[in-house]
Amino acid sequence: MEEAVTSEEAQDLFSTAAGKFQEMAALALFNWGNVHMSKARKRIYSTENASRDSVLELIKTAYDWAQKEYVEAGQKYEAALRIKPDFYEGILALGQQQFEQAKLSCYHAIGNNVDLESWPSEEVVQLYNSAENNMEKGKQLLEEFEARRHSELSNSLKVNSQSEKKGLDWLFKDVSAEEATEQAKNMRSHINLLWGTILYERSIMEFKLGLPVWQDCLEIAVEKFELAGASPTDIAVMMKNHISNDNAQEGLGFRIDQIVRAWNEMYEAKKWLSGVPSFRLEPVLRQRVSKIYHDLEFA
């Protein structure tokens, strides 16, 4: 036993196993953060004859609740990244958390008729900046991960054979090369879709604040939607209904979430037909937007 454990062959297995356990530890915190993200989407319940003041109080309570849960989620994602700095799922989830928190803060201010000229928007702008940076970094880490996995595929059979002999084969289960390629393609589409949504929502905020950069933000959002595979028709609808257009729908802006949800449902149908397994970040990226945004708009 001692000879087997101290052999050169065993060291490679130990290194691989250590990496797997590191990933599992980061994944536990990642999933913990996902729980808080789900809790942040808590629904507001009120009766039909409830007074406006009571509804506003419920919205305020829900807003404070959501902000607290977003902070908790962000802390868990950051803890996961301290364990595994190249954990691209954690980076992307952190970006989504920052985006949702920024969007909630902005909608809360607009829904409460705050004077946007005097509204301290620096924190929200920083959240948007961080979200975009994490999209960029997460995409880069994903590409690096894909390159590593591709180079390791040739060694996978050897590792699996050795691990089976030592009872560690449960650590090294992985998808096939074809499934990995399809998963990566789907992941990139989801990243670009989320990235485009972040930029689209940011352009709404910038337009409301009177910042001329909103146009650049909107143009880049369209590029991301195109990379995600969104149809020209859907993109045209998004552009037509942007809050900057005179004929756009009233309120805080076009509810882009409706098209995003439809796109996700179409993707889900294609995935079911192809039989490609889900990736770990998919449930986070496909979660529906909290009802509180709608409540803030019509409070």
pLDDT at residue 169, rounded to an integer: 46
Tokens of 133: 């940076």
At residue 272, does pLDDT exceed 60?
no
**How close are the terminal C-alpha atoms of the chain, in Å?**
69
CA–CA separation, 192 and 190 (whole Å): 5
Confidence of residue 267 (pLDDT cuts 50, 70, 90): low
d(C-alpha 201, C-alpha 189), whole Å: 18
Calculate what percentage of the chain has a pLDDT beyond 90. Answer: 35
Measure the CA–CA gap between 161 and 157, rounded to whole angstroms: 6
Residue-averaged pLDDT of the chain: 78
Question: In this structure, what are the phi and psi dihedrals at residue 146, rounded to the nearest 5 degrees?
Answer: -60, -40
Joined tokens for residue 108: 């809360």
Dihedral over Cα of 85, 88, 91, 93: its sign: negative
Distance CA 19, CA 13 (A): 10
Q: Which residue has the higher pLDDT, 3 or 142?
A: 142
Which residue matches tokens 């989620």?
A: 73
SS3 168: coil
pLDDT digits (tens, 9 = 90+) for 191-249: 998 999 999 999 999 998 999 999 999 999 999 999 988 888 888 888 888 887 765 55
Over residues 149-183, the pLDDT tens digits come to 777 665 555 555 554 444 444 444 555 667 777 77
Which amino acid would we find at residue 151? S
User: Which of the 8 DSSP states describes residue 169?
Assistant: G
**What DSSP state is assigned to residue 122?**
H
- Token pair 């949504």: residue: 197
User: By the 8 A CB rule, do 42 and 65 touch?
Assistant: yes
Are the C-beta atoms of residues 199 and 132 closer than 8 Å to each other?
A: yes
Describe the crossing of helices 177-208 and 122-165 by its angle, rounded to 10 degrees.
170
Percent of the chain's residues with pLDDT above 70: 68
Please report the pLDDT score of residue 183 as a whole number.
Answer: 74
pLDDT, tens digit, 9 for 90 and up, residues 117-128: 888 899 999 999
Q: Output DSSP code: residue 51.
A: -
Secondary structure letter of residue 193 according to DSSP: H
Of 25 and 252, the one with more pLDDT = 25
| H or E, element range at 189 | helix 177-208
pTM score of the predicted model: 0.80
Confidence band for 108, pLDDT divided at 50, 70 and 90: confident
